[in-house]
Chains A and B, each alone.
Chain A
């Protein structure tokens, strides 16, 4: 999941792949704004055929948080 998300992140922000770690924070470290972040989750919904909860995803801060959340949806 992490590798898949990493690839997706590069489609949204111009960032060096090495900066995308489990601890990297979307907004502070990777340069996402709130709209980029929501758009990326929209793409995840479509690609993985899962339903993301808008109220829940605003709590996600790091790449690791997102990986855990998406995996819980797939489970």
Chain B
């Protein structure tokens, strides 16, 4: 694709249809069948939705929320909104109904596309979100006002007009481990810059298995947009529980994962190899379907040991770094330069990065316009010269970039020393006995609160004794100002966000051991 011609998401869908035509863009399961939808069909269907929205909303500017797992219908609703120059608001399907209503009201949502499994929420949404005028069910259900398949049968393709790259395309909420969710405003230009900033990342021969939640910009940009650009086929993982089955069925060449899933698959491969008496490498190759070229990891810190373990299976793995506010890539995984040093990969083209007082600060055409109706937060994140203050702490060494933690989580001790809790937590990433860990300051002491793996050690006191020994070991690798001085052991898991990150604001604390 000639990337100089792509100024908007609409251009991307249109050019993909012209270039890749009848090739399959999406493959998904419908019962026991696999249904394929081509690039050309996708372009056509999105224009029909644009036509419907124009009529239903009488030309009013649309802010359309979309909720549900990845599906062809979801993408048609999403891009149908985009085609007419309107704004999408992808929502996290795991949120409680009250939160969903709050986010929709704050983003001025007036159209709601929903997967039929969320239909039971409609009565509450209708009461709490009076601004929503049009409801579209992505699958038929009893009582649905509009159903996507009927729209596709009934409407003709809309006439589409060029969308300026500076137009707002999406308001994407950041989940965050602390504080209130903020709506990141991304323009067509932001998302296109990020999708076009690197070259030769994929090709029409590639097949992706899309397993990450679609409302995350990492999945949206790197699965959905890059496949439009390169003509790759996306296979939809219809449920988390079916990853293994879908890997065998679709035999992807590329997969994007978050570290938690990558670590768990690794553990399962090792357990299965042991149970079956087979070499782990053979089990791994079979598990991934036999055609996998590589795994991209993002979303959280990935321990180099995991990269190394996959490398031993003959599966290259590399991690990138980004954030919703940067559409999302700041650094990208590079399979030609797999690093075992724990750094975050290659800085993408067009992105300037500097470190100011330990914080990573970036400037690029991918950087958001600000937070929707939240000028105070925007002023904190974006300075007058357009630099985005990421809130991440990091450093550069020998041309590589490393992340040490979040600025807002920084522990500032009474002696003025700054300690990043994530840097200490990462030291426990491969210690099986520490199933979950949170590090914070308490009464001036650096405290590690740990939920032990009770299967390995059911007795809390015994686990605490062992953990104290492990902490002593870990402390020998740390400067004295950063050593862990107090251990709390809890008998239950930490509360987590819907993206499975531990919430840093917890009410329950384990006992001091």
Residues of A that sit less than 8 Å from B by CB: 10-15, 19, 27-31, 33-36, 38-39, 41-43, 45-46, 52, 54-55, 57
A10 touching B271 in the complex, CB below 8 Å, given contacts A29-B454, A31-B453, A35-B261: yes
**Can you list 19 contacts pairing A with B, beta carbon distance less than 8 Å?**
A10-B275, A11-B276, A12-B271, A13-B267, A13-B455, A14-B271, A14-B274, A29-B455, A30-B455, A31-B435, A31-B454, A31-B455, A33-B264, A34-B500, A35-B240, A36-B267, A36-B268, A52-B241, A55-B117
A15, A28, A35, A46 interface centre (most CB from chain B within 10 Å): A35
Dominant secondary structure of chain B at its interface with chain A? helix
Q: How far is the CB of B218 from chain A (nearest CB, A)?
A: 17
Q: How far is the CB of A60 from chain B (nearest CB, A)?
A: 12
The 8 Å CB contact of A41, one of B241, B270, B435, is B241
Bound state CA distance, A33 and B208, in angstroms? 25
Q: How far is the CB of B278 from chain A (nearest CB, A)?
A: 11
Residues of B that sit less than 8 Å from A by CB: 117, 239-245, 260-261, 264, 267-268, 270-272, 274-276, 435, 453-456, 458, 492-493, 500
A31: chain B residues at CB < 8 Å are: 435, 453-456
B458: chain A residues at CB < 8 Å are: 29
B500: chain A residues at CB < 8 Å are: 34
A13: chain B residues at CB < 8 Å are: 267, 271, 455
Contact between A54 and B453 (Cβ–Cβ < 8 Å)?
no
The 8 Å CB contact of B268, one of A11, A19, A41, A46, is A11
The 8 Å CB contact of B242, one of A11, A15, A45, is A45
B274: chain A residues at CB < 8 Å are: 14
Bound state CA distance, A39 and B272, in angstroms? 13
B270: chain A residues at CB < 8 Å are: 14
A42: chain B residues at CB < 8 Å are: 239, 241-245
The 8 Å CB contact of A11, one of B245, B264, B272, B455, is B272
Q: How far is the CB of A62 from chain B (nearest CB, A)?
A: 14
Bound state CA distance, A57 and B500, in angstroms? 18
Q: Which residue of B lies closest to A40 (CB)?
A: B241
A15 touching B268 in the complex, CB below 8 Å, given contacts A39-B241, A42-B244, A43-B244: no
Bound state CA distance, A31 and B458, in angstroms? 10
Bound state CA distance, A46 and B272, in angstroms? 17
Other A-B pairs, 6, CB within 8 Å; known A28-B454, A54-B241? A11-B271, A13-B267, A14-B274, A19-B455, A35-B264, A38-B241
B241, B242, B276 interface centre (most CB from chain A within 10 Å): B241
Which 9 residue pairs are nearest across A and B when measured between Cβ atoms?
A31-B455, A38-B241, A42-B241, A42-B242, A35-B264, A38-B240, A41-B241, A11-B272, A11-B275
